[in-house]
Amino acid sequence: ACDICEYRGGTPGNLKYHMRTHTGEKPYACSICEFRSLSQGNLKYHMRIHTGEKPYACDECDYRGGTRRHLEGHMRTHTGEKPYSCELCYYKASQKATLTAHMKVHTGEKPFSCSYCDYRARRASHVTRHMKTHSGELTRVLTLSSEDSGAGGYTHIADGTYVGTPMVE
Protein backbone atom coordinates (compact mmCIF):
# COMPACT_ATOMS: atom_id res chain seq x y z
CA ALA A 1 0.00 0.00 0.00
CA CYS A 2 1.09 3.56 -0.71
CA ASP A 3 2.10 5.63 2.34
CA ILE A 4 1.07 8.88 0.59
CA CYS A 5 -2.37 8.11 -0.82
CA GLU A 6 -5.03 5.40 -0.80
CA TYR A 7 -3.45 3.35 -3.63
CA ARG A 8 -3.18 -0.37 -3.01
CA GLY A 9 -1.20 -2.17 -5.71
CA GLY A 10 -1.58 -5.84 -6.48
CA THR A 11 2.15 -6.46 -6.82
CA PRO A 12 5.36 -4.80 -5.63
CA GLY A 13 6.04 -3.77 -9.25
CA ASN A 14 2.70 -1.94 -9.42
CA LEU A 15 3.50 -0.05 -6.21
CA LYS A 16 6.98 0.86 -7.47
CA TYR A 17 5.45 2.27 -10.67
CA HIS A 18 2.76 4.11 -8.67
CA MET A 19 5.32 5.72 -6.35
CA ARG A 20 6.87 7.43 -9.39
CA THR A 21 3.67 9.49 -9.69
CA HIS A 22 4.54 11.01 -6.30
CA THR A 23 8.31 11.37 -6.77
CA GLY A 24 8.18 12.59 -10.37
CA GLU A 25 10.81 9.99 -11.31
CA LYS A 26 10.81 9.22 -15.03
CA PRO A 27 13.64 6.74 -15.56
CA TYR A 28 12.93 5.89 -19.20
CA ALA A 29 14.33 8.45 -21.66
CA CYS A 30 13.82 8.80 -25.40
CA SER A 31 17.10 8.67 -27.31
CA ILE A 32 15.78 11.09 -29.95
CA CYS A 33 14.02 13.86 -28.03
CA GLU A 34 13.54 15.14 -24.47
CA PHE A 35 10.62 12.82 -23.63
CA ARG A 36 10.88 10.86 -20.38
CA SER A 37 8.46 8.27 -19.05
CA LEU A 38 7.40 6.49 -15.89
CA SER A 39 7.32 3.17 -17.73
CA GLN A 40 9.11 1.32 -20.48
CA GLY A 41 5.73 0.62 -22.12
CA ASN A 42 4.92 4.33 -22.42
CA LEU A 43 8.37 4.93 -23.93
CA LYS A 44 7.66 2.18 -26.48
CA TYR A 45 4.42 3.94 -27.51
CA HIS A 46 6.23 7.30 -27.64
CA MET A 47 8.89 5.90 -29.98
CA ARG A 48 6.15 5.27 -32.55
CA ILE A 49 6.03 9.06 -33.03
CA HIS A 50 9.60 8.89 -34.34
CA THR A 51 9.30 5.61 -36.27
CA GLY A 52 5.88 6.34 -37.76
CA GLU A 53 4.66 2.90 -36.71
CA LYS A 54 0.85 2.82 -36.53
CA PRO A 55 -0.26 -0.76 -35.91
CA TYR A 56 -3.90 -0.04 -35.00
CA ALA A 57 -6.17 0.19 -38.06
CA CYS A 58 -9.74 1.46 -38.33
CA ASP A 59 -12.17 -1.00 -39.93
CA GLU A 60 -14.28 1.83 -41.37
CA CYS A 61 -11.68 4.09 -43.02
CA ASP A 62 -7.94 4.29 -43.71
CA TYR A 63 -7.02 5.77 -40.30
CA ARG A 64 -4.14 4.11 -38.47
CA GLY A 65 -3.10 4.92 -34.91
CA GLY A 66 -0.01 4.39 -32.82
CA THR A 67 -1.94 3.21 -29.76
CA ARG A 68 -5.20 1.42 -29.06
CA ARG A 69 -6.37 4.56 -27.20
CA HIS A 70 -5.80 6.69 -30.32
CA LEU A 71 -7.87 4.23 -32.35
CA GLU A 72 -10.63 4.24 -29.72
CA GLY A 73 -10.72 8.05 -29.82
CA HIS A 74 -10.82 7.99 -33.61
CA MET A 75 -13.71 5.50 -33.63
CA ARG A 76 -15.86 8.10 -31.87
CA THR A 77 -15.68 10.18 -35.06
CA HIS A 78 -17.66 7.38 -36.72
CA THR A 79 -20.16 6.90 -33.87
CA GLY A 80 -20.62 10.62 -33.21
CA GLU A 81 -20.00 10.11 -29.48
CA LYS A 82 -18.61 13.25 -27.83
CA PRO A 83 -17.95 12.46 -24.16
CA TYR A 84 -15.75 15.50 -23.44
CA SER A 85 -17.66 18.70 -22.61
CA CYS A 86 -16.43 22.24 -22.15
CA GLU A 87 -17.46 23.65 -18.78
CA LEU A 88 -17.53 27.20 -20.17
CA CYS A 89 -19.70 26.75 -23.26
CA TYR A 90 -21.71 24.14 -25.15
CA TYR A 91 -18.72 22.66 -27.04
CA LYS A 92 -18.33 18.87 -26.98
CA ALA A 93 -15.47 16.79 -28.36
CA SER A 94 -14.86 13.17 -29.25
CA GLN A 95 -11.29 13.29 -27.94
CA LYS A 96 -9.77 14.82 -24.80
CA ALA A 97 -6.95 16.47 -26.78
CA THR A 98 -9.52 18.24 -28.96
CA LEU A 99 -11.25 19.64 -25.87
CA THR A 100 -7.88 20.75 -24.48
CA ALA A 101 -7.18 22.60 -27.73
CA HIS A 102 -10.67 24.14 -27.62
CA MET A 103 -10.09 25.50 -24.10
CA LYS A 104 -7.49 27.86 -25.57
CA VAL A 105 -10.42 29.71 -27.18
CA HIS A 106 -11.44 30.76 -23.68
CA THR A 107 -7.94 31.45 -22.32
CA GLY A 108 -6.67 33.21 -25.45
CA GLU A 109 -3.50 31.12 -25.27
CA LYS A 110 -1.57 30.88 -28.56
CA PRO A 111 1.62 29.01 -27.69
CA PHE A 112 2.68 28.15 -31.25
CA SER A 113 4.36 30.75 -33.45
CA CYS A 114 5.67 31.15 -36.98
CA SER A 115 9.44 31.57 -37.23
CA TYR A 116 9.07 33.91 -40.25
CA CYS A 117 6.35 36.33 -39.15
CA ASP A 118 4.25 37.27 -36.13
CA TYR A 119 1.53 34.63 -36.73
CA ARG A 120 0.56 32.75 -33.56
CA ALA A 121 -1.87 29.86 -33.14
CA ARG A 122 -3.50 27.61 -30.59
CA ARG A 123 -2.41 24.44 -32.40
CA ALA A 124 0.92 23.37 -33.88
CA SER A 125 -0.91 22.02 -36.94
CA HIS A 126 -2.23 25.52 -37.68
CA VAL A 127 1.33 26.89 -37.73
CA THR A 128 2.43 23.99 -39.95
CA ARG A 129 -0.37 24.85 -42.40
CA HIS A 130 0.46 28.57 -42.14
CA MET A 131 4.14 27.89 -42.94
CA LYS A 132 3.04 26.64 -46.35
CA THR A 133 2.00 30.21 -47.19
CA HIS A 134 5.67 31.21 -46.88
CA SER A 135 6.89 28.36 -49.10
CA GLY A 136 4.18 28.94 -51.72
CA GLU A 137 2.62 25.50 -51.18
CA LEU A 138 -0.57 27.11 -49.89
CA THR A 139 -2.14 30.06 -51.63
CA ARG A 140 -5.14 31.76 -50.16
CA VAL A 141 -7.71 33.58 -52.22
CA LEU A 142 -9.83 35.52 -49.76
CA THR A 143 -13.25 34.90 -51.22
CA LEU A 144 -15.08 32.83 -48.63
CA SER A 145 -15.86 33.52 -45.01
CA SER A 146 -14.68 31.02 -42.41
CA GLU A 147 -18.33 30.09 -41.81
CA ASP A 148 -18.60 28.93 -45.43
CA SER A 149 -15.32 27.10 -45.57
CA GLY A 150 -14.14 23.65 -44.60
CA ALA A 151 -11.83 22.33 -41.93
CA GLY A 152 -9.35 24.85 -40.67
CA GLY A 153 -11.04 27.75 -42.45
CA TYR A 154 -9.92 26.69 -45.92
CA THR A 155 -11.89 25.06 -48.71
CA HIS A 156 -9.94 22.57 -50.79
CA ILE A 157 -10.28 22.96 -54.55
CA ALA A 158 -9.65 19.97 -56.82
CA ASP A 159 -6.49 21.42 -58.39
CA GLY A 160 -4.73 21.41 -55.02
CA THR A 161 -5.16 25.08 -54.13
CA TYR A 162 -7.05 26.33 -51.14
CA VAL A 163 -9.39 29.26 -50.92
CA GLY A 164 -10.93 30.91 -47.90
CA THR A 165 -10.12 33.08 -44.97
CA PRO A 166 -7.79 31.77 -42.32
CA MET A 167 -9.44 30.10 -39.38
CA VAL A 168 -10.32 32.61 -36.69
CA GLU A 169 -7.63 32.26 -34.06
User: Would you say residue 80 lies in a domain?
Assistant: yes
164 φψ region: left (φ > 0), alpha (ψ -120 to 50), beta (else): left
User: Would you say residue 68 lies in a domain?
Assistant: yes
Q: How confident is the model at residue 133 (pLDDT cuts 50, 70, 90)?
A: confident
- Report the distance separating Cα 69 and Cα 94, nearest Å: 12
- Report the distance separating Cα 122 and Cα 168, nearest Å: 10
Long-range pairs for 47-54 at CB < 8 Å and ≥24 separation?
none
User: Would you say residue 168 lies in a domain?
Assistant: no
User: Does residue 128 carry a pLDDT above 70?
Assistant: yes
How confident is the model at residue 122, as a pLDDT? Answer: 84
Q: Mean pLDDT, to the nearest integer, of 34-38?
A: 92
Indicate the average pLDDT of the chain: 81
User: Would you say residue 4 lies in a domain?
Assistant: no
User: Would you say residue 100 lies in a domain?
Assistant: yes
**3 state DSSP class of 151:** helix
User: Would you say residue 27 lies in a domain?
Assistant: yes
Q: Mean pLDDT, to the nearest integer, of 89-110?
A: 91
Please give the residue range of the domain that contains residue 25: 12-51
User: Would you say residue 45 lies in a domain?
Assistant: yes
User: Would you say residue 44 lies in a domain?
Assistant: yes
User: Does residue 140 carry a pLDDT above 70?
Assistant: no
Q: How confident is the model at residue 93 (pLDDT cuts 50, 70, 90)?
A: very high
